[in-house]
Amino acid sequence: MVLEIFFAAGCFWGVEKNFEQIEGVVDVESGYSGGNYDNPTYRDVLENRNLKGGGFLETLRNIANSNEETEVEDILINHTETVKVVYDPDIVSTEYLIKNFWQIHNPTQTNGQGNDIGNNYRSAIYWTTPEQQAIALQTREDFQKLLNEKGYGDIVTEIMELDKFWPAENYHQDYLVKNPNGYCPDHSTGVAFVDRDIKTAYHDTIRPLGGKEIVVIGPEIEGTCLFCLKLETEVTSKYSGSIALRTAPASALQGFNLTTETWAAPTIFFIEDGKEVWANQGFMDVKEFYKALGKFKLGANSESYNVAFNDGTDRRYCKQYEIFNNTPDGVFVDKLSGRPLFDTDYRFNSKSGWLSFTRPVTNEVYEKIDYSFGMVRTEIRSVSSDIHLGHVFNDGPGGLPRYCINATVLEFVPRIKI
């Protein structure tokens, strides 16, 4: 036997994704509930969101969470963006789902979540069984105490028996899966239940390290943001650069001077001495991330940035070449990603004025045909950051290749530190 319960916690895209990944949830569908007009569309609920709509009746619903019959004529009550959650109570409990609901948004915000303002974004639970109603009311009381301890006001969540659920348009279903290059709206308070079987927010405080650093805003509840997981898998988990990178929920940040809002997960901040230099809300692919990092670390007008992103070339016998041509044993790493690229064991002096190697580190560079300047050459690029490194020629010692590499896009790590 499966049960149904209906939740509204702001834009239904993120709420749908949150419940879809819970074991025991059979199906999740986005739609509209809580209004008093038939066949609502997305356009309808947006157009009606600015009405003071609902008036006294809506006040009763939001503040008193009442099912009491109230005779009010000719008052339009707008629908709220709702998700239907179908679940197997033998696998996941009603209490788990409702507690999760309280934790993923701010139930003290009236008619909105974050910058999404309107009664179509109001917080609501629409129950279908008396047990669900009892658990909703009890957990509301329990969560209210936790919120009060953190300085939050009263919960205004509408708790009503479901009247009607209207499925949303097809393009709203699984929206975040269909649009993988965005962000998850995260309006949660960071306040959490302490039950062992309930996912809780993590609260380790982080403060500025001083100097340059990268801070990625993640979800308040671990594992609930598809785009954050994608960013970690494709970009940040492979980053080993010299600029520190940390991930934390917005509630954990203290002492930072930020101008970009932190409600979107992920939000990537480039910070210097605690102050925001640059930020991006939403997922960034490898190329986008490292090009932005290049401007932050190298400077957009620097020689190394020109080499890395404009396929430039170091001057022969440049200062960095002179330093790197006579290092002790070690590894040359990508200046941005920190990944190893070339080993001193395969370095040789080609007397060309550029660093030369007979081979790269396995699987860390790739080749690309380069037709620039009327020539046909084989370009070498970094797998991790996709920056330009140099070219490979067939005139190395003993018939081996010569990897002709620009020194300004590298950093050196002595063998002892590896």
pLDDT score, position 29: 92
Sorting pLDDT into bands at 50, 70 and 90, what band is 240?
very high
On the question of pLDDT at 310 being above 60, the answer is yes
User: So what's the pLDDT on residue 294?
Assistant: 97
What six digits make up the tokens of 367? 């080749």
> Is 318 part of the annotated catalytic residue set?
no
Cα gap 61→133, rounded to integer Å: 14
What pLDDT, in 10s, does the model give residues 358-409?
A: 999 999 999 999 999 899 999 999 999 999 999 999 999 999 999 999 999 9
* Alpha-carbon radius of gyration of the chain: 28
Q: Which amino acid is it at 345?
A: D
Judge if 329 and 381 occupy the same domain.
Answer: yes
- Within a domain: 151: yes
pLDDT tens figures, 151-179: 999 999 999 999 999 998 886 677 666 55
- DSSP secondary structure code for residue 206 in this structure: B
Report the first-to-last Cα separation within the chain, whole angstroms.
Answer: 57
Global pTM? 0.67
Rounded to an integer, the average pLDDT of 9-15 is 82
Whether the pLDDT of residue 329 is over 70: the answer is yes
Q: Are residues 149 and 45 in the same domain?
A: yes
- 297, 326, 355 — which closes off a domain? 297
| Co-location of 352 and 408 in the same domain | yes
Which two tokens mark 189? 């308070």
- For residue 15, the model assigns a pLDDT of 85
Residues 138 and 246 in one domain: no
- Which of 11, 225, 228, 404 is labelled catalytic? 11
| % pLDDT > 70, the chain | 87
**196 belongs to a structural domain:** no
Statement to judge: residues 319 and 235 lie in one domain: no
- Checking if the pLDDT of 145 tops 60, the result is yes
Q: How confident is the model at residue 68 (pLDDT cuts 50, 70, 90)?
A: very low
The answer to the question of residue 204 being in a domain is no
What's the pLDDT at 181? 58
Q: Which domain holds residue 400?
A: 311-417
pLDDT recorded at residue 60: 44
Given 297, 332, 348, which residue is the final one in a domain? 297
Has residue 152 been placed in a domain? Answer: yes
Distance CA(27)–CA(17), nearest Å, equals 11
Q: What is the pLDDT of residue 195?
A: 62
Indicate if 293 and 328 belong to the same structural domain. Answer: no
Q: Which residues pair with 392 in a beta bridge?
A: 378, 403
Reading the block at residue 338, the tokens are 């920190």
Residues 139 and 14 in one domain: yes
Among 297, 329, 347, the domain boundary falls at: 297
Per-residue pLDDT tens digits for 183-214: 666 778 888 887 645 554 445 689 999 999 99
Question: Do 166 and 21 fall into the same domain?
Answer: yes
Residue 339 has pLDDT above 50, yes or no: yes
Q: Mean pLDDT over residues 44-69, rounded?
A: 53
Task: Report H helices in 251-310.
Answer: 286-297, 303-310
Domain of 261, CATH number, reads 3.40.30.10
* pLDDT given for residue 1 in this prediction: 87
Does residue 224 sit in the same domain as residue 93?
no
Mean pLDDT in residue range 49-65: 46
For 138-151, the DSSP string reads HHHHHHHHHHHHTT
Query: Does the residue 306 lie in any domain?
Result: no
Residue at 363 is within a domain: yes
pLDDT at 80: 93
Tell me the pLDDT of the chain averaged across its residues: 87
- Examine the pLDDT at 267 and tell me if it is beyond 90: yes
Q: Say which DSSP state 189 is in.
A: -
* Greatest C-alpha distance within the chain: 95
Least confident of 93-97, 142-146, 150-154, 222-226: 222-226
Q: Tell whether 129 is covered by a domain.
A: yes
> Is 186 within a domain?
no
Confidence class for position 276, pLDDT limits 50, 70, 90: very high
- At residue 187, the pLDDT reads 76
Number of domains in the chain: 3
Asked if 293 and 401 sit in the same domain, the reply is no
Long-range contacts of 347-354 (CB under 8 A, 24+ apart): 348/396, 348/397, 349/325, 350/396, 350/402, 350/404, 352/316, 352/404, 353/316, 353/317, 353/318, 353/321, 354/314, 354/316, 354/321, 354/390, 354/404, 354/405, 354/406, 354/407
**Do 293 and 315 sit in the same domain of this protein?**
no
Q: In this structure, what CATH number is given to the domain that contains residue 351? A: 2.170.150.20
Please determine, for residue 303, whether its predicted confidence score (pLDDT) is greater than 60: yes
333 HSE (CA, 13 A, CB side): 18
The token pair at 98 is 């409702």
Same-domain check for residues 73 and 138: yes
pLDDT tier for residue 245 given thresholds of 50, 70 and 90: very high
